[in-house]
Amino acid sequence: MSLYHTPLNTLDGQATTLAPYEGQTLLIVNVASKCGLTPQYEGLERLQETYAARGFSVLGFPCNQFMGQEPGTAEEIQTFCSTTYGVTFPLFEKIEVNGDDRHPLYAELIESASAADDHTGDIRWNFEKFLVSPDGSVERFAPQVTPEDPALVSAIETALG
């Protein structure tokens, strides 16, 4: 199944896929509201604002699998993200990124190796990032790689052409 045609739901429960984003540059991130890395929302929103006009979007996928750091309902997540960090990029329903109930989108994404350490397989923590180029190729970045990290910014710039 193609990354772009995997069934998903938006944060408000509407059925969708990533088909509207095909041919764009995407940064797919598993997010959480109560994590030490949560302030990365600020940088992710800056990336969204900086590059959206060039065919780029951050896509957030809340996940509660890492020490219960995303316990909220869809409404609580939306309110927290918009009021605390001014998030305007799309958020999708809370999913599992590891284990037997891993969402099919992440089953496909985890096959990509991290540029820094060649890690494949399970998501290591909240805010692991997958940069999807317009051609569908995927580059993986560890959770500690901030949105401002020169390696990530350079990869986004390269993907955007």
Q: pLDDT-derived band of residue 1, with 50, 70 and 90 as boundaries?
A: low
**Total structural domains in the chain?**
1
Q: What pLDDT sits at residue 133?
A: 96
In this prediction the pTM is 0.97
What's the CATH number where 137 sits? 3.40.30.10
> In this predicted model, what pLDDT tens digit does every residue of 84-116 receive, in sequence order?
999 999 999 999 999 999 999 999 999 998 878
- Given 35, 37, 52, 138, the catalytic residue: 35
Residues of the domain holding 65: 3-160
Q: Is 55 left (phi over 0), alpha (psi -120 to 50) or beta?
A: left
Identify whether 35 is a catalytic site residue.
yes
pLDDT at 57: 98
Backbone conformation region of residue 60, classed left if phi is above 0, alpha if psi is from -120 to 50, else beta: beta
The pLDDT of residue 113 is: 87
- Looking at the chain, the whole-number percentage of residues with pLDDT higher than 90 is 94
Residue with tokens 């949560």: 38
User: What pLDDT does 64 receive?
Assistant: 98
